[in-house]
């Protein structure tokens, strides 16, 4: 899954001389929180966020004294933007972008080509949409959690057990379970009658877990 297939290409951007009052208006009108700043030839110069603008806004006291809106019109985007922002390339994967967002604690990255020209932007919203589509979550179904030993053949046994019931798979996620030699397998099954699937798996000796309880328990440990 590559970034160029899921990024927003119709990017709203700003020039460095734009006032932050205008930038704030553009962001509010289009419901966006990140505004790439580019030169005339679309070379990325920086990025400004709604947080940057809020931080730069005059206080209420200053506003009463001299007119906050006039001050906003005097401050240029180039004065508050983040220069040399972290970027990604179109050929990186969505997994790369997700890990980088977690690492840098940001909600979006500009996507640039090899010479630094803006090609798009990838946001957490774009990532969620892409993973929903890839995992088939728009189709009615249910998620099952199964603990297996981390050795060859375990996945085939799960697939065989579920396929015997004529149930189709939407997707399968495999993650560690914070226990030596164990993995958690989460198949998203295209059925709403999940009780018979769980019964079948238990009868074949599998240990089941509640996906939500497991997720919350493990997140609390990190």
For 75-90, write each residue's pLDDT tens digit: 899 999 999 999 999 9
Arithmetic mean of pLDDT, 50-68:
65
Residue 121 CA to residue 6 CA, distance in Å, equals 9
Arithmetic mean of pLDDT, 144-162:
91
Arithmetic mean of pLDDT, 20-49:
95
Please determine, for residue 116, whether its predicted confidence score (pLDDT) is greater than 70. yes
Kindly list the structural domains of the chain, giving each domain's residue range(s) and its CATH number in brackets, ordered by start: 3-132 (3.10.580.10), 142-221 (3.30.70.260)
Predicted TM-score (pTM) of this structure: 0.70
Burial label, 151 (beta-carbon count in 10 A; 0-12, 13-18, 19+):
exposed
Contacts of 159 (CB under 8 A, 6+ apart): 169
Arithmetic mean of pLDDT, 91-114:
93
Please determine, for residue 219, whether its predicted confidence score (pLDDT) is greater than 70. no
3-state helix, strand, coil in the chain (%, to 5): 40, 25, 30
- Residue 173: what pLDDT? 84
What are φ and ψ of residue 174, in 5° steps?
-125, 125
Kindly list the distances between the CA atom of residue 64 and the CA atoms of 54, 58, 59, 171, in Å, as whole numbers in the listed order. 17, 10, 9, 57
Contacts of 148 (CB under 8 A, 6+ apart): 154, 155, 157, 158, 182, 183, 184, 185, 206
- Residue 61: what pLDDT? 40
More confident residue, 214 or 109: 109
Ranges 14-18, 21-25, 36-40, 207-211: which has the least confidence: 207-211
Arithmetic mean of pLDDT, 4-19:
95
């Amino acid at each position: 899954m590559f970034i160029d297939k899921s990024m927003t290409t119709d990017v709203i951007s700003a020039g460095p001389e734009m006032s932050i009052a205008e930038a704030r208006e553009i962001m509010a009108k289009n419901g966006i929180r990140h505004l790439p700043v580019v030169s005339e030839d679309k070379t990325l110069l920086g990025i400004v966020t709604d947080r940057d603008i809020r931080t730069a806004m005059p206080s209420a006291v200053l506003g009463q004294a001299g007119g906050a809106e006039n001050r906003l019109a005097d401050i240029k985007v180039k004065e508050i933007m983040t220069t040399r922002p972290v970027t990604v390339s179109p050929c990186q994967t969505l997994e790369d972008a997700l890990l980088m967002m977690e690492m840098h604690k940001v909600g979006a990255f500009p996507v640039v080509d090899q010479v630094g020209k803006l090609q798009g932007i990838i946001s957490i919203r774009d990532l969620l949409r892409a993973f929903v589509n890839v995992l088939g979550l728009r189709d009615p179904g249910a998620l099952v959690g199964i603990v297996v030993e981390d050795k060859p053949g375990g996945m085939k046994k799960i697939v065989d057990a579920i396929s015997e019931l004529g149930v189709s798979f939407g997707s399968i996620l495999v993650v560690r379970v914070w226990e030596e030699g164990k993995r958690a397998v989460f198949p998203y099954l295209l059925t709403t009658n999940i009780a018979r699937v769980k019964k079948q798996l238990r009868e074949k000796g599998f240990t089941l877990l509640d996906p939500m309880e497991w997720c919350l328990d493990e997140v609390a440990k990190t």
